[in-house]
Amino acid sequence: MTTEPTTLPTHPFEPYLSLSDEVLKQRIAVVRAEMGSRLLILGHHYQQDEVIAFSNLRGDSYKLSEMAAADEQCEAIVFCGVHFMAETADILANRAKRLEQRDGRRVDVILPDLEAGCSLADMADIDQVEDCWEQLSEVTDVEQITPITYVNSAADLKAFCGRHGGIVCTSANAEAALNWAFAGRPRVLFFPDQHLGRNTARAMGIPLEQMPTWDPLREQLGGNDQDTIGNSRVILWKGDCSVHQVFLPQHIDHFREKYPDIKIIVHPECMMEVVDKADLSGSTGKIINAVSGAPAGTRWAIGTELHLVDRLKSEYPRQQIYFLSPVVCMCSTMYRIDLPHLCWSLENLAAGTPVNVIAVEKETARWALVALQRMLEIK
């Protein structure tokens, strides 16, 4: 007796991998035309150009979610970004006020590839943060600590901040969030990006010796002693963005030697030594505005994600724009959103069989919204 070879079933997405870019673009365009204003495609600045070309709105993570939440016509959001961004969009688009306006109808928020995560967000999980909070409660009064989470974090960490009188921040409003926190309490726990917290707090005049780093892999007080915690103003979580850690002080030295008139601008997720040597540091929006508003012929070396830098080169040819690092550096998780994933998710949506729907658990969404709304109020 002969046995037929066993074949494993293919994922429904796989046939899209064999389609040409031209076919994928045509099919994506058909869905966009059919759904019209019922569909909102969001494209983060770090996305590939061919994906950005189909986005209705382009921006940084929180700005996109904010704009999506304000849209009163769309019935579905396809977020070309990463997981925590889609979570934030779901929390805002489906908050109680919006549900009431839509007679209880939810807006589906779809992430074309569920593997599109964020290495920075993964550096702090809820168990680690709750353990940190418990340890802090044993050596100090946690009622005197405000937790601040960077928007690059999971929904349950945003909810943790909501429950404990804390707030969410972006790279654009981290200083405002710290000022808000210090107006009520003397101390801050800032996670998960140590560099954004350190660069922002130091610019506000807080000395480095009052900013200890909490390492969640160290068993006792994140590697600190009780006196260090007691003398702290900002406790920094030991986390960082892999994209922005490739930029080094010597890269700036190289460009200054080669082009004495060059302007260096970097993202505040870069290490302190890089921010110190740069002419400017700021959010993605600040970087774009600096380049777009500069006189023709200005030279710029930019320390942020490669896709954005390349797009700036293309959109502002009157400037001379360079990527700050000699090492190619892109956000690999953002790169997972491509034309096959976008086409697959859109066609399923149009067929009434949505895939990869992101829906934050109700209680988590409620408390995360509290922290997000505090952020909106202080901007």
Q: What is the pLDDT of residues 178-222, one digit of tens each?
A: 999 999 999 999 999 999 999 999 999 999 999 999 999 998 999
Cβ contacts of 33 within 8 Å, gap of 6 or more: none
Residue 366: burial class (beta carbons within 10 Å; 0-12, 13-18, 19+): middle
- pLDDT computed for residue 5 by the predictor: 54
Question: Which ranges of the chain does DSSP label H, i.e. alpha helix?
Answer: 21-35, 49-52, 61-70, 83-93, 96-101, 126-139, 155-163, 174-184, 194-203, 226-230, 249-258, 272-277, 284-292, 306-315, 339-350, 362-378
Class for domain 14-118+336-361, per CATH? alpha beta
The pLDDT-based confidence of 330 (bands split at 50, 70, 90) is low
CA-CA distance, 92 to 2, in Å (whole number)?
58
Question: Which class is domain 121-241?
Answer: alpha beta
Residue 47 amino acid letter? Q
Buried b (16+ CB within 10 A) or exposed e, 33-58: eebeeebbbbbbbbbbeebbebbbeb
Provide the b/e sequence for 122-161 (b: ≥16 CB within 10 Å).
bbbbeebbeebeebbeeebebeebbbbbbbbbbbbbbbbb
CB 214 within 8 A of CB 222: yes
258 vs 189: CA distance, rounded Å = 41
Pull the structure tokens for residue 70: 């304000």
Strand pairing class (280-281; 39-44): unpaired
Q: What predicted TM-score, i.e. pTM, was given to this entire model?
A: 0.91
Q: Where are the domains of the chain?
A: 14-118+336-361, 121-241, 244-323
Mean pLDDT of 25-30: 97
**268 phi, psi to nearest 5 deg:** -70, 0
pLDDT digit string, tens, across residues 153-164? 999 999 999 999
Tell me 357's DSSP state. B
Residue 253 has a CB neighbour count (10 Å cut-off) of 11
**Matching fold, domains 14-118+336-361 and 244-323:** yes
Q: Is 37 helix (H, G, I), strand (E, B) or coil?
A: helix
Q: Residue 89: pLDDT above 50?
A: yes
Across the range 294-299, mean pLDDT stands at: 95
Q: Are 57 and 43 in contact (CB under 8 A)?
A: yes
Over residues 247-281, the pLDDT tens digits come to 999 999 999 999 999 999 999 999 999 999 999 99
Q: Out of 298-307, 319-328, 341-350, which region has the weakest mean confidence (pLDDT)?
A: 319-328
Selection from 296, 301, 257 nearest residue 281 by Cα: 301
pLDDT at res. 35: 96
Sequence-separated (6 or more) residues with CB below 8 Å from residue 270: 195, 199, 244, 245, 247, 278, 281, 303
Q: For residues 344 and 354, what is the distance between their CA atoms, to the nearest angstrom?
A: 10
Pick the CATH number of 244-323 from 3.40.50.2300, 3.40.50.150, 3.40.50.10800, 2.40.128.110: 3.40.50.10800
State phi, psi for 340 to the nearest 5 degrees: -60, -45
Of the candidate ranges 34-43, 93-102, 132-141, the one whose mean pLDDT is the lowest = 93-102
Q: Flag whether pLDDT at 239 surpasses 70.
A: yes
Give me the percent of the chain exceeding a pLDDT of 70.
95
As a whole number of angstroms, the distance between CA 66 and CA 51 comes to: 20
Residue 1 has a pLDDT of: 45
Closest to 81 in 3D by CA, of 136, 24, 152 = 152
Mean pLDDT on 304-311: 89
Computed over every residue of the chain, the mean pLDDT equals 91
